[in-house]
Chains A and B, each alone.
Chain A
Amino acid sequence: MISRNAIHTRTITCGCCRYGVSAAFLKRSGFCNVRGKSMHGSFFFVVLWIVVLLVAIVLGYLQQNRMVKRKTAELRRELFERQMAEKELLASDQKLRQSLAEKESLLKEIHHRVKNNLQIVSSLLYLQEDYMTDPKGVDILRESQNRVKSMALIHEQLYGTADLAKIDFGRYIEGLTANLFDAYGIDPDRIRLNVRTGDIALGVDMAVPCGLIINELVSNALKHAFLPDASGTIDIAIQTPDTGRIEMVVADDGIGLTEPPADAEKKSLGLRLIDTLTAQLDGTLVINTEKGTRFSITLNAPEQPEKES
C-alpha cells in the first residue's frame, strides 16, 4: 500500500510541479484533491458521453421499434390485399369451372339429341322399306339408312367420351364398319376386315365427310367386290403422312372394278358422293384396280383449332 502510494506520489509530483504544488502538500492533502479537479472534469465528460450514447441507443431503439411496427402493419395490409385477391380469384375460377361444366353437359346433351334424331331418320327410312315394292328402291333406302347411321355414330361417340371436340377416328371406323357388316348381313369370317389407323383425332367437320367417304367405299366393297360365298379381305388404312394431310386407303382383293366409270351421270350416288366430298376437302382420289380395287384418298385436314377461335 505504502510503496504504491509512493510511486503514485512520484509520478504525480512530476505532473504537478508546474503548478508549484509541493510534494509535502500533496502528501498531506492526498493527491486526489488536486487530481480530483481534472478527474472530475473528465469523469463528467465520460458520464455525459455515456448518457448521450444511452439516449441515442434508446431513441434509435424506439425509432426502430416504431418503424418495425409500422412496416408490420403495412405488411399485414398487403397480406389482406393478397388474401382478398386469392379469395376472389378462387371464386372466379370456381365460377369458370362451373360454367365450363355446364357448357360441356349442354354440348353432350346436344350431341345426344342429334344422334337420337338421326336415329329416328334412319328408322323412318327403315319403315318406308315396307312401302317399297321395287327391290332397287329398298337397296337405296338401306344405303341412305347406313349413311345416316354413320353420321349418328359420330355424335354418339362425341357425347360418350371426355373430349367433346375430337373423334378418335380409329374407334369410329371400327364402329362404322361393324354397322355396315351388320346391315349387309356379312359374315366377318367370310370377308375379313383389317383396320389400321394411327392415333388420329378429328373434329366433327372433318369426321363427318371422312366417315361418309369410308362408308361409301366399304359399302361398295361389301356389295360388289366379292362374289356370293367367295371370301376375301378388306383393308382400311388411315394415316397422316404429313401434318395437315390425311390419307385414307380402302382396298379389297375382290373381283375388281370392271371399268372405272368416267361419266358422272352413270356413277352411283356413292361414287358421286366420294367425288364431291373429296373435291370439297381439296383432296385427290387415286383408284388402282390391278389387284382387286384400291381407293386412296388424300385430303387436307386442317389442324383442328384447339384454343384459338
Chain B
Amino acid sequence: MALSKKTPRILCVTSGKGGVGKTSFTVNFAIALTRNDSRVLVVDGDMGLANVDVLLRLSVKNNIRDILESGADPRQALIFARPNLAVLPGSSGVPEMVSLGDKQQSKLAGFIKNISSSFDYVIIDTAAGIGSSVLWYNRFSDHNIFILSPDPTSMTDAYALIKLLSRDHGINRFNLVLNFVRGVREGNHTVDTIKRVTQRFLNLELAHLGSIPEDNAVRKAVLDQVPFIEQTPGSKAARAVHDLAERVHTLI
C-alpha cells in the first residue's frame, strides 16, 4: 500500500469510437475519486480536440502542446479545478499533435511522471480513433479502461482497438465501462457479446468494471458545463459513477 501511494496508478480511458462518453466519464470519475480522498490528475490526452477544460469550465493558459514546445515546467500548465483535482489541459485544433513523435513521446512521459508524483491517480482521457497518441497513452498506462456503448459500431471499434493493442502492443488486460445503458438486460447482453468475441479470437478476458445508464442529467450537465456528479448528485448516472469509483481497486 505504501508503494502504491508513492507511484500513482495511471489509468487510460479510451474507446475507439468517438462520442461514447470518455471525457464525461473521465471528469466525473475523477471527481468521484477525489471524494474518496484520493488526489487525482486528469490529463487531457485528446491532442486534437481537447475538451476536459470545457466540461469543467476552466480557462486554459498553457496546454500540453505549449509545455512540450517550450520545455517549460509542466506544473505551470496544471489547473487545480477542485480540491484534490488537477487538470493538465490538452491542445485543440492542432492536427500535428494527434500523432506523437518518438521524441515527444518520451518527453511527455517524463512530464507526466514528473508531475504525477504527488497524485494517487492519473487519468488520461484519450482521443477517439486509433491514432499513435491513443496507442501510446494506452501503452504508457497501468490500466486500460474501455468506454463502450451497446451500439454495435461502438463494440466493433472497441474490439478493433483491443485487438490492435493486444497483438501489437502487448497489452492484455482491459476493463470495460458500459455507457448509455438502458436497462440491466441490455448491459449484460452487451458485455457478454464483446467478452465472447474477445475470448474466442483474442483469448482475452475482459473485466467489467460497471455501467453508466443513459441519463438526461448527463446531457444537461454538459450543456451547463458542470460535471453531472456535482450538478445532480442523485441522478442515476452520478450514482453509477460513484459505484465505479468504489471499485477502482478492482481494475485489472
A: residues with CB less than 8 A from B are 70, 73-74, 76-81, 83-85, 88
A84's partner among B150, B156, B183, B185 (CB-CB below 8 A) is B156
A73's partner among B186, B196, B200 (CB-CB below 8 A) is B186
Residues of chain B from 143 to 188 with CB closer than 8 A to chain A in the complex: 150, 152, 155-156, 159, 183, 185-186
B201 near A77 with CB under 8 A, answer no
Chain A hits for B197, CB < 8 A:
80-81, 84-85
B152's partner among A77, A85, A88 (CB-CB below 8 A) is A77
A80 → B minimal CB distance (Å): 4
Q: Majority SS of interface residues in chain A?
A: helix
A84 near B159 with CB under 8 A, answer yes
A81's partner among B183, B185, B186, B193 (CB-CB below 8 A) is B193
Q: Give Cα A186 to B200, complex, Å.
A: 67
Q: List 27 A-B contacts (CB under 8 A).
A: A70-B183, A70-B186, A73-B150, A73-B186, A74-B186, A74-B189, A76-B152, A77-B150, A77-B152, A77-B155, A77-B189, A77-B190, A77-B193, A79-B152, A80-B152, A80-B155, A80-B156, A80-B193, A80-B197, A81-B193, A81-B197, A83-B156, A84-B156, A84-B197, A85-B200, A88-B200, A88-B201
Chain A hits for B159, CB < 8 A:
84
Q: Majority SS of interface residues in chain B?
A: helix
Taking A74-B189, A78-B193, A80-B193 as known contacts, 17 extra A-B pairs with beta carbons closer than 8 A to each other, sorted by chain A number, are A70-B183, A70-B185, A70-B186, A73-B150, A73-B186, A74-B186, A76-B152, A77-B150, A77-B152, A77-B155, A77-B193, A80-B152, A80-B156, A81-B193, A84-B197, A84-B201, A85-B201
B190 → A minimal CB distance (Å): 6
Chain B hits for A85, CB < 8 A:
197, 200-201
Q: Give Cα A287 to B13, complex, Å.
A: 85
When C-beta atoms are compared, the residue in chain B nearest to A89 turns out to be B201
Chain B hits for A80, CB < 8 A:
152, 155-156, 193, 197
Chain A hits for B155, CB < 8 A:
77, 80
When C-beta atoms are compared, the residue in chain B nearest to A69 turns out to be B182
List the 5 closest A-B pairs by CB distance, nearest first.
Answer: A80-B152, A88-B201, A77-B193, A76-B152, A84-B197
When C-beta atoms are compared, the residue in chain A nearest to B198 turns out to be A84
A267 → B minimal CB distance (Å): 63
Chain B hits for A83, CB < 8 A:
156
